[in-house]
Copies of this chain bind each other. A is one copy, B any other.
Amino acid sequence: MTDLASLVRFVLVRTSHPGNIGSSARAMRTMGFGRMALVAPHRFPHADALALAAGADDVLAQAGVHDGLVDGLAGCSLALGLSARRRGVDLEELSPREAAARVLAAAGRGEQVALVFGNERTGLENEELARCHAMVRIPSVDDFSSLNLSQAVQVMAYELRVALLGGTVPAAPVRDDAEPPADAARMERFYEHLSETLDDIDFHKGRAPTTIMLRLRKLFQRAQMDERELRILHGIFADAQRMARIAQDKDKQ
């Protein structure tokens, strides 16, 4: 596994069939990738996974198993979610090739990156896609759009391999300054603080907090914030909370 490849994580979410975990490990391994994270797999470890890995046992042995996607994305500054959906997802849509270029650009800056694959039947839920920065759509035909899970893994691993071999890692200094991008755990703390603040300033007033929070998540995921930006926003929230506390303490007097 090259250094760049070791920064790329294949995250399989709520996989039903352990055989697909094995096939995915094999698909990754043929293309030089070895970092797999499993989020709430239905059955793992399992003999079918080992059988279909066809020798990529090391990938399975080193796979992290996590309860939730946030843990599965720990340390990653960029998460791309595979989805066949065309509607109802408010995320930038990338082709596998565009995604490969973006992944390698981030890895080239030393960042950890995740490719996120949903359940075989249901794909990624909206809440899972909301933790991604963009979605990747493999250009399947409309009337038969669903690739087998490990086939989707193979296509992405293949495009990444071609991009790596092409050495055409686009030097993409999207961001001019040197602050590191915020990882998934920090983003979760940010959303918690935002949610608390909205409660404190009495923003919800009977409206559904989940819908609003989902919309705000999409907005801020899209922005791919760095740590300095997070600090500024945390500071703003803290001041808004301070004002709300003063206002409410006074009310009680």
Residues of A near any B CB (own CB < 8 A)? 23, 26-27, 29-32, 54-56, 86-90, 92-93, 95-97, 137-141, 144-148, 150-151, 154-155, 158, 161-162, 165, 168-170, 172, 174-177, 198, 200-203, 212, 215-216, 219-220, 222-225, 228-229, 232, 235-236, 239-240, 242-244, 246-247, 250-251
Contacts and interface: CB of A to CB of B under 8 A. Distances in A.
B239 A32 contact: no
Nearest to A203: B239
A220 B233 CA distance: 12
Q: Chain copies in the assembly?
A: 2
A101 to B, nearest CB: 13
A86 B162 CA distance: 18
Contacts of A145: 30
B92 A148 contact: no
B141 A32 contact: yes
Contact of A27 (B30, B148, B162, B242): B148
Contacts of A250: 246-247, 250
A172 B137 CA distance: 10
Contact of A203 (B23, B174, B235): B235
Given A176-B88, A239-B201, A240-B201, A144 B55 contact: yes
A55 B140 CA distance: 15
A89 B56 CA distance: 27
A165 B98 CA distance: 15
A215 B228 contact: yes
A191 to B, nearest CB: 14
A224 to B, nearest CB: 7
B139 A161 contact: yes
A236 B201 contact: yes
Contacts of A56: 144
Contact of A150 (B95, B151, B240): B151
Given A139-B158, A139-B169, 17 more contacts: A30-B138, A30-B144, A30-B146, A54-B148, A93-B169, A93-B174, A95-B169, A139-B165, A148-B150, A154-B154, A158-B158, A200-B243, A219-B225, A222-B223, A243-B244, A243-B247, A246-B251
Contacts of A161: 139-140
Contacts of A30: 138, 140-141, 144-147, 151
